Structure 1
Amino acid sequence: MFCSTELAARIESAETDLIATGSSAAAARLGEGFTIPLAGGVASFAEPGSPLNKVAGLGFDGVPNVQELDEIEKRYAAVGSPIQVELAQLADPAFAELLTGRGYRLVNFENVLGRALPGPPTPAIPEGIEVRPSDDTEFDLWLDIVADGFAHPDTQGVASHEEFPREIIASAMRDLTATAGVQRYVAIRDGQIAGGASVRHHSGIAQLTGAATIPTHRRHGVQSALLSARLERAATAGCDIAVITTQPGSKSQQNAQRRGFDLLYTRAILVKE
C-alpha cells in the first residue's frame, strides 16, 4: 500500500482529533490541562504523566511562527511537563529544522501501518472464540485487561522511551472511550472474557487503538480474532483504511504485517525538557 502525503495528512488529522478529544475530556474531569490548535495539529496536556501529553499532527498545514512556539513551550513549562512532538516523516521538512534549532532532541521513532478495507480476507475467527461489543456493565473488566496490556509492552524490537503507570493508562482509556467515539470489544473463550480491544472510526479511517489478551488465554488466537472482527466491522461501517501504530521491529508490527498491513510512514519523537 502506497502512502502519499495526502493520505498521511488524513491519518494525522484523525490522530489529532483523537488526542484533542481525549485531552479535552481529561481537562473537563480534572479542571486543568489544555488543548491548543497548532499548525493543523494540536498541543495537548491532559494530566501529569498521561500518554495524551504531546504535540501531534503537525507539518501538513503550514509552519508555526516563533511566537506561537514560545507560547506553547511556556504552557508546558507552567505544568512542569516536557514537550513531546510526534512528527511524521512525510510532514514538511521545515518542521524538523525548526524544532531541532530550538533544542528538541530526537529520542525515538514509532511506525504507522495501514491496510485497505475491505482488502484481502482476514483469518477466520478460531472455533471456540466469540468477539462482541463490550457493554458498560463490563467496562471495568475490559479496562483492566487493556490497561494491563499497555503496562506490559513488547520486548521485541526497539524499546519505547515511555512508561506509564497503570492508573494513568486507565484514566486515558476511560476518557477516550467516553468521549472520542472509541468502540470497545471483548473476546470470549471457554465462556470467559479472554481479551479486549478497541477501534475508532473517523472520516473513513479505522484507528486500532489497542488490544490485549489475558495471559492464561494467550496463543489461542484471541488477538487474531479481535483484529479480524474489528476490520470486518470497520469495512461494514464504510471505512476504507485501517491504521495501527507500533514500535519499530516489535511483535505488534510483525503481527500486523502478517495480517496484510504495510508500513506507511514513521513518526520521529522529539522532546524538549
Structure 2
Amino acid sequence: MSGPANTSAHLIQRVEASLMHKTELDFAAASGRFPGTEVRHLEDVTATALSELAHLVPYNKARPFRLEHRHLLDDLLAFYTGRGLRPAIEVRSPDAGDELHELLRAADLAPMPPTVALHVRPDQVNVPAAVLVEEVGSDDDRYLDTLFRGYGIGADETAFRDMLSIEHSAAGFRRYLAFVDGQPAAAAGLFAHDGTGILAGAATVPRFRRHGYQTALIARRLRDAATSCDLAVVTAALDSPSHANLTRLGCQLTHTRTVWR
C-alpha cells in the first residue's frame, strides 16, 4: 500500500467510492424516515442534505470540490441555503490550494478542523486481543444501546438515533461488541463492498475508555475483513485518539478532507 507521501489518485478514488457507496445506501434508506432527505449529483460532485439533522455536517455537505468546479459553487450554495441549511463544501488534500481556498473564502466559507481517511491491508494486521469481542446479530439490542452510550446520545435525540440505526442496519453490515465481565463496553461495525472493508461507527462507553477495547475491535474487524477484502478504510478526526489507535495498528494516511462551512 502507498504511504501518505505517494498515495495514488486511484487509491484515493477507491477509498472515496466505497465511502460514497455506503452513504448513498444510507440516504436511500433514510429518505423513507426523514422527508426532504436528498442526494444531488452536480457533475462529479455529490451533495447530501438531511434537514432533520442540520447541525451534523457529515450528513450535509458537498464533495469532492475542486477548482475545476468553480462554476458549480453558486448552485451548491443554493442547494443548502434553499433548504435552510448552512452550506458545507468538502475539499480533499490533493485538490487543495491557494486559489481554491480564496474562492471559498470569497463565498464566506471557512475551514473546519480536518478529518483523515486511512487505509490498510487487513491481512497485514495481527494484534493479539486480550479482550473478548463477539459478532452479534442485527436483533441484538445491546449493540445500538452500547453505541448510543458510547457516543453520548441522549434518549431525546430520536432523529440521530434513528439515523445511526439506519447506518448500522444496511444489508451486509456486521456488528461487534467488546465485553468486560460479561457487559458490553464498546461497539463497532464493518461494511464490505467490492473488496473494500469500511470500519464504521466505533464507540466506547465512557467508563471503559483507555482499556484497549477499540484496539480489539479494530483488530477483529480487520481479521474478518481479510477474508473477502484486500483493502480496509476508515475515517477519523485528525490527531484524535482514534487516529492514533489506527496508525499504531498500521493504518496509513490516504488523504485529509477539510469541510469549508
Give the alignment's TM-score, normalised by structure 1: 0.80
* CA positional deviation for 1:191: 2.0
Look up the SS of the partner of 1:253 in the other structure. Answer: helix
- Equivalent in the alignment of 1:268: 258
- Equivalent in the alignment of 1:147: 148
Q: Tell me if the contact between 1:195 and 1:222 (Cα under 8 Å) persists in the aligned partners.
A: yes
- 1:35 matched to 2:28? The reply is no
Q: Tell me if the contact between 1:184 and 1:198 (Cα under 8 Å) persists in the aligned partners.
A: yes
- 1:135 matched to 2:137? The reply is yes
Q: Name structure 1 gaps, 5 residues minimum.
A: 153-164
Change (3 A) 1:82 1:181: farther
Q: Tell me if the contact between 1:114 and 1:241 (Cα under 8 Å) persists in the aligned partners.
A: yes
Look up the SS of the partner of 2:33 in the other structure. Answer: helix
- Equivalent in the alignment of 2:55: 49
Identify which of 88, 108, 112 aligns with 2:92. Answer: 88
- 1:111 matched to 2:112? The reply is no
Look up the SS of the partner of 2:200 in the other structure. Answer: strand
Aligned residues: 251
Q: Tell me if the contact between 1:114 and 1:263 (Cα under 8 Å) persists in the aligned partners.
A: yes
Distance 1:102 1:7 in 2: 31
Identify which of 173, 179, 183 aligns with 1:182. Answer: 173
* CA positional deviation for 1:270: 0.7
Q: Name structure 2 gaps, 5 residues minimum.
A: none
Look up the SS of the partner of 1:90 in the other structure. Answer: helix
Look up the SS of the partner of 1:108 in the other structure. Answer: coil
Distance 2:157 2:198 in 1: 22
Change (3 A) 1:214 1:108: closer
* CA positional deviation for 1:168: 4.3
Look up the SS of the partner of 1:179 in the other structure. Answer: coil
Q: Tell me if the contact between 1:89 and 1:266 (Cα under 8 Å) persists in the aligned partners.
A: yes
Change (3 A) 1:261 1:135: same
Look up the SS of the partner of 2:14 in the other structure. Answer: helix
Distance 1:206 1:151 in 2: 26
Percent identity of paired positions between Structure 1 and Structure 2: 27
- Equivalent in the alignment of 1:230: 221
The within-5 A match list for 1:210-221 is: 210-221=201-212
Question: Cα RMSD over matched residues?
Answer: 2.6
